[in-house]
């Protein structure tokens, strides 16, 4: 039995397989409509979500399975003081697979040690978010046709943005990838990730200027400033509008740039950018459902 806690739990070959399956699901959805008949997915969300939880549920329903779960900690026995280990041992009696989001870093990992069924980390605090990365990778593959030799701009809250951390880990494994990290000083990529990049000799630069980085980028990954992880509101207010992508800022960008965002957006991308052919963030949402279908099939070992 396998869980998915960190994106590097999957080899690059396994990621290729998931992407191939997702592309096959997109081309032949009927073939998959009954694959998870009588299987159940539980979504245990101790933190708010729209896309991640509903895409997991939509994914399982499109595979012919059923879903159960809760969408807030105060709707569960966590409010009574139950541990995540006891919660998953319980839910494992009702469901075949569990997707869990939790505000505490490492909670899904702890849960996976006690769970009788596979656990999928659907976001743990400011740490990791491997299934968003799978959605990002499927989008990059469909837009660019490759993962190697890409200059990837990561912009916004690189400190608390868990999707950024998982995406760096995933893309670091491909040749010729370089990162341009664009953030205010207070929201730079955590030191442990910088050390990993240094150790592996992966090229990266850090800058405060989106304008300066723009012409070099193949991918621009915008992120929201993660209000819920700030210790004080004044810092959030000061930093929240550090970057706002508008059509004029894209004038110096490559014609083939792909603009990604895990969503939800607040102010980081003006709605005027949505009609630009380079905007991929709503395709990314759709891809998130298909790649989660592929992941559920893999972890449930459904052929």
| Active-site residue, from 21, 43, 52, 131 | 52
Sole residue written with tokens 């505000």: 103
> Interface residues for ligand NCD in 109-138 (CB under 6 A)?
123, 129, 132
3-state class of 256 per DSSP?
coil
Interface residue with ligand NCD, options 3, 43, 52, 128 (CB under 6 A) = 52
Q: 142 or 165: whose CB is closer to ligand NCD?
A: 165
Sheet holding 204-207, edge to edge: 204-207, 178-182, 151-155, 219-222, 258-260
Q: Which is nearer to ligand NCD, 51 or 114 (CB)?
A: 51
User: Considering CB under 6 A, how many residues would be counted as binding ligand NCD?
Assistant: 11
Distance separating alpha carbons of residues 92 and 86, to the nearest angstrom = 10
Give me the 267-286 binding string for ligand NCD, x by CB under 6 A, dash otherwise: --------------------
Q: How far is the CB of 162 from ligand NCD (least distance, A)?
A: 5
Which one, of 124, 53, 40, 44, lies nearest residue 87 by Cα?
Answer: 44
**Shortest Å distance, C-beta 267 to ligand NCD:** 12
Asked if 165 interacts with ligand NCD (CB under 6 A), we say no
CA-CA distance, 168 to 192, in Å (whole number)? 12
The question of whether 208 is a catalytic residue gets the answer: no
Q: Which of residues 204-263 bind ligand NCD (CB under 6 A)?
A: 224, 262-263
Q: Is 113 exposed, middle or buried (0-12, 13-18, 19+ CB in 10 A)?
A: exposed
Annotated active-site residue 51? The verdict is yes
Catalytic residue among 35, 53, 101, 142: 101
The yes or no reply on residue 169 touching ligand NCD (CB under 6 A) is no
Q: What are phi and psi of 121, to 5 degrees?
A: -75, 115
First to last CA, the chain: 15
Q: Is 162 annotated in the active site?
A: no
Q: How far is the CB of 80 from ligand NCD (least distance, A)?
A: 26
Residue 166 in contact with ligand NCD, rule: CB under 6 A? no
* Spatial separation of the C-alpha atoms in residues 197 and 203, rounded to whole Å: 7
101 is catalytic: yes
CB within 8 Å of 40: residues ≥ 6 apart? 60, 65, 66, 67, 68, 94, 95, 96, 97
Catalytic residues: 51-52, 80, 101, 129
Binding site for ligand NCD (CB under 6 A): 51-52, 123, 129, 132, 162-163, 224, 262-264
């Amino acid at each position: 039995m396998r869980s998915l806690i960190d994106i590097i739990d999957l080899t690059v070959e396994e990621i290729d397989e998931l992407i191939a399956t997702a592309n096959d699901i997109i081309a032949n959805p009927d073939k998959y409509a009954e694959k998870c008949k009588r299987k159940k997915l539980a979504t245990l969300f101790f933190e708010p979500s729209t896309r991640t939880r509903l895409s997991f549920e939509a994914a399982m329903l499109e595979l012919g399975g059923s879903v159960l779960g809760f969408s807030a900690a105060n709707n569960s026995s966590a409010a009574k003081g139950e541990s995540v280990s006891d919660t998953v041992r319980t839910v494992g009696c009702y469901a075949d697979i569990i997707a869990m989001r939790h505000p505490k870093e490492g909670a899904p990992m702890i849960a996976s040690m006690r769970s009788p069924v596979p656990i999928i980390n659907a976001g743990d605090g400011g740490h990791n978010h491997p299934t968003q990365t799978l959605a990002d990778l499927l989008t990059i593959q469909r837009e660019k046709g490759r993962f190697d030799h890409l200059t990837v701009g990561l912009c916004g809250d690189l400190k608390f943005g868990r999707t950024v951390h998982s995406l760096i880990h995933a893309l670091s494994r491909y040749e010729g990838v370089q990162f341009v990290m664009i953030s205010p000083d207070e929201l730079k990529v955590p030191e442990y990730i910088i050390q990993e990049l240094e150790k592996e000799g992966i090229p990266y630069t850090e800058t405060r200027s989106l304008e300066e980085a723009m012409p070099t980028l193949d991918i621009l990954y915008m992120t929201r400033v993660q209000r819920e992880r700030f210790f004080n509101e004044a810092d959030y207010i000061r930093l929240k509008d550090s970057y706002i992508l508008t059509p004029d800022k894209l004038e110096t960008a490559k014609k083939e740039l792909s603009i990604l965002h895990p969503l939800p957006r607040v102010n980081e991308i003006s709605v005027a950018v949505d009609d630009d052919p380079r905007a991929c963030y709503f395709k990314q949402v759709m891809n998130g459902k298909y790649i989660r279908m592929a992941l559920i099939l893999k972890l449930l070992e459904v052929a």
